Amino acid sequence: MSRAEQIVIGEAPLGWQDVVAVARQGAQLVLSDAAWARIDNAQAIVQQIVVSGERAYGVNTGLGALCNVSLQGEQLSRLSRNTLLSHACGVGAPLADEQTRAIICAAILNYSQGKSGIHRQVVEALLALLNRGITPHVPSQGSVGYLTHMAHVGIALLGVGQVSYRGQIVPAEQALNEEGLAPVILGAKDGLCLVNGTPCMTGLSCLAIADAERLSQWADVIGAMTFEALGGQLDAFDESILALKPHPGMQQVGKNLRSVLAGSEVLASRQGIRTQDALSIRSTPHVHGATRDQLAHAIRQIETELNSVTDNPMLLGTPDDWRVVSQANPHGQSVAMAADLLCMALAELGSIAERRLDRLINPMVSGLPAFLVSQPGVNSGMMIVQYVAASLCAENRQMAQPAVVDNYVTSGLQED
């Protein structure tokens, strides 16, 4: 079975491509025996905590600012259920199915580390959602990091809310019934596990990486085509010249451009016609390369997060010798900063493309027919295409403003 057909969570770390395979290509996700053993071990620790009565955040206490409220008995199951129902309050247009699937995939990988304490049947239910094509309806807005998104995933396991199933939006209960699945009964800490951690931003970032990889490849080819059409001067892409500024991305883009342009008769006839090209033409390796370097950084950060333990509290040890540690691993600063930088890098990729587009259609600099049309005036040609590009670039710049610096206080100063 090929990688695109099945992804196995075992001992080896997963990459962003694995998440994309599950989210976009419909690959089946399965857990190895070792992964299940880790999950069962952590759940057994939860049971020991419940029996001992030792206070542990989210296991037998309230959440957030209510962390000092102790709970016991049937309150623990009610807490888990109520956590999902109270947190499922997102607003706005729903995430695309592939986005929700990426989040679920990243969440399951987090639980497979065996430090969360979630019940096996909850993970089995999440796998069933992925592998049987049941995708919870998850509003895209209202989550400070992760809480509401995963809550909407979690309530689908209870048979509550709406899901995408067989091309239609149906009640979650209906989809579960048609697949012969029963609603999940939650136990201690299950609710917190389902809304905790960084799977949301990490899963979504994996999809963004896939898009950025593809855009970077297209950008190099399109940049080379523009360079040829404008009769660019090849010295700017000379390997020995670019090597004097040895940023890895820049070297790769230079190599790509030289490969695409090799043997061009159009360029051969245009060498020496000008001293140097406009900056938007000759700096293609520098701008595209910087984007590639930020993409490489984002991949390192996001794949590290993807294979990390991001639950709180963390359960360590064995049922006979255990430790509960409250910490801040659900804080997604590393992913957020990497994603912000990637946004800026992609916005720059769009900006330089728009400048090259303008030079193609502007008769004052292109040496080509105005707006690339044989009868200008009767036909506007590609004039308004540049308007669209300029508008999209402006939108990109707005969206590329860093989100990570916008911090707000929540949960009665507990999450500040």
Instruction: Supply the residues annotated as catalytic.
Output: 57
Q: Is 174 exposed, middle or buried (0-12, 13-18, 19+ CB in 10 A)?
A: middle
Give which of 269, 170, 179, 180 is closest to 228, Cα–Cα.
269
Task: Return the closest-CA partner of residue 20 out of 35, 4, 43, 41.
Answer: 4
**286 vs 254: CA distance, rounded Å:** 9
Rg, C-alpha atoms of the chain: 26
159, HSE (Cβ side, Cα atoms, 13 Å) = 13
First to last CA, the chain: 47
**Residue 394 CB neighbours (<10 A):** 12
What the block records as the tokens of 185 is: 């009964």
Cα 192 from Cα 319, distance rounded (Å): 20
Q: Report residue 291 as tokens.
A: 């984007």
**Looking only at Cα atoms, what is the longest distance across the chain?**
85
**DSSP three-state, residue 376:** strand
